[in-house]
Amino acid sequence: MNTVRSDLPSILQLHTNYREGTATVRGTVDEAWSSRDRHVSLNAWITSEEPANLAESQARIDAGEMRLLEGVPVAVKDIIDVAGMRTTNGSGQAFHSRARDDAAVVALLKSQGALILGKVATEEFAFGITSKNAHFGPTRNPLDPTLTPGGSSGGSAVAVAAGDVFVSVGTDTTGSVRIPAAFCGVVGFKPTFGSLSGVGVTRLAPSLDTVGIIARSVADTRTTLAALNVDVEPADPREAHVMWLKRLDGVAVEPAIDTELRKVAERLNATEVSLPEQGIYELLGDIVTTEALQVHKEEGWWPAAHDAYSPLLRHRLQAAESNDLQDYLQATLDRSRMRSLLGHLLGDSVLLLPTSGAFPIAIEDVDDPVALAAFRRGVMTYCGLASLTGFPAIALPVPGRDFVSLQLIAAPGRDRQLLAAAEWVESIIATF
């Protein structure tokens, strides 16, 4: 059962429909609720509510005062606060709270007319890449419900791919926006580290956590980022020389992904490059587990609420208690060297590589530690390069090739150049 929608309008087309009177905000929201109800088996939603600004949005459209996201249905990952809604963190009841204020990114979205329809599923405390949640049940892949949609922003990708919303806001620590985007056939954008505020967002690993966007196209991503005050003024994609990387840390790539990567690299006349072994997967493990444990201690959750955690997360936090501080410090030094190496390699160029080396695994296989470990390495290695360095990155689906996604990375602060290159690649992929 493939429930991914390919017949939906872009944000630009939706706004044209609003101006021409062929669509209304009420009708758009009703379509969103209908889509959510049709796809309830995918388990993408945790909380959904009628947006309070619906009437205001229609009034602005009628007055010709449309803002960037006027009347656009948006979902928010459930570690991000929305005033008046509960934040579950994908966790047990002991950790739930009702937000008094909007997270900074949510406040910006609302200020541009976005209709926040609710909160979508995440891995427990965003700590994982499968969206198999012990408290709320597994979120399922809209391309094949027997498979994981990826995570931890799994609900965000599913809600966009299924057509429930136009855009979803997630977080990306080790690839948690780009991984589910890749597995669900949508676009996932991680901006330069620190360019979007994390105020009102539950922390996982603060030196890596980045708010990101999942949408159906680069154009919709650009519009959303503009609403978030990110500089996305169009740039000439020819300004950026493209390099491509076919292997990273020796991690194998699925043949179908490799084929599409080579085709795009050839069309772009990209220069093939390589990087020495970086140990990305191990570095991510050292940094994330150490910082996550510290966060949970600072929040007063660990070990006080020991029994409220799922067995898996409880085990991870317990294991992190024995992490060696020297290993963490060494990992941060290695990360600094990696940042310098990649920055020197890139310069003004853009790097093309797989988003993931692996395809999604079956939900039932997530509980197999051997299968899960191999899957995590195959996925996180390719996303981890941009995560560890803090560089902006975007995942682009290849239409008609389920689970095949290509990634572009640029130097920090070159988000607008990255988006321009992504639109260029997106147009090339569409011709295949």
At 432, is the pLDDT very low, low, confident or very high (cuts 50, 70, 90)? confident
**Same-domain check for residues 205 and 60:** yes
72 located within any domain: yes
Q: What integer is the mean pLDDT of 335-343?
A: 97
Query: Which residue in 31, 33, 47 sits closest to 155, CA to CA?
Result: 47
pLDDT, tens digit, 9 for 90 and up, residues 59-93: 999 999 999 999 999 999 999 999 999 999 999 99
Whether residue 5 lies inside any domain: the answer is no
Domain end call among 176, 200, 227: 227
- Per-residue pLDDT for 371 more than 80? yes
Statement to judge: residues 250 and 273 lie in one domain: yes
Domain identity same for 136 and 220: yes
Q: Is residue 4 part of a domain?
A: no
98 and 188 inside one domain: yes
Are 260 and 212 contained in the same domain?
Answer: no
- For residue 203, what is the domain's CATH number? 3.90.1300.10
Does pLDDT of 237 surpass 80?
no
Of the ranges 4-8, 131-135, 138-142, 272-276, which one carries the lowest mean pLDDT score? 4-8
pLDDT of residue 347: 93
Angle of the 218-227 helix axis to the 415-429 helix axis, nearest 10:
160
Q: Is residue 232 part of a domain?
A: no
Length of the chain: 432
Is the whole model's pTM more than 0.75, yes or no?
Answer: yes
Q: Which domain holds residue 38?
A: 11-227
Domain C-terminal end among 198, 227, 256: 227
Give the pLDDT mean for 211-238.
91
Same domain, 402 and 271: yes
Residue with tokens 């009034």: 59
| Arithmetic mean of pLDDT over the chain | 96
Q: How many domains does the chain have?
A: 2
Asked if the model's pLDDT at residue 323 lies above 80, the reply is yes
Say if 1 falls within a structural domain: no
Assess whether 72 and 108 both reside in one domain.
yes
Last residue of a domain, one of 186, 203, 227: 227
In tens, the pLDDT along 24-72 reads 999 999 999 999 999 999 999 999 999 999 999 999 999 999 999 999 9
Residues 6+ apart with CB under 8 A from 316: 127, 289, 292
Do 184 and 284 lie in a common domain?
no
Q: Is the pLDDT of residue 238 over 70?
A: no
Residue 84 lies in a domain: yes
CA-CA distance, 275 to 298, in Å (whole number)?
Answer: 37
State residue 235's pLDDT score: 76
Question: Is the separation of the CB atoms in 367 and 258 below 8 Å?
Answer: no
Q: Is residue 292 part of a domain?
A: yes
Give the pLDDT mean for 176-187: 98
pLDDT at residue 107 tops 80: yes
Same-domain status, 172 and 263: no
Q: Each residue of 157-166: pLDDT tens digit?
A: 999 999 999 9
Same domain, 214 and 317: no
**Does 236 have pLDDT greater than 80?**
no
Q: What distance in Å separates the CA atoms of residue 46 and residue 75, rounded to the nearest whole number?
A: 10
Residues with catalytic function:
77, 152, 176
More confident: 223 or 7? 223
**CA 131 to each of CA 43, 118, 152, 349: distance values in angstroms, whole numbers, following the listed order:** 10, 18, 6, 34
Give the model's pLDDT for residue 357: 98
Q: Same domain for 104 and 245?
A: no
The answer as to whether 156 is a domain residue is: yes
pLDDT tops 60 at residue 1: no
Instruction: Single out the residue of 61, 36, 53, 54 nearest to residue 168, CA to CA.
Output: 36
| Mean of pLDDT values over 249-269 | 96
**Same domain, yes or no, for 206 and 276?**
no
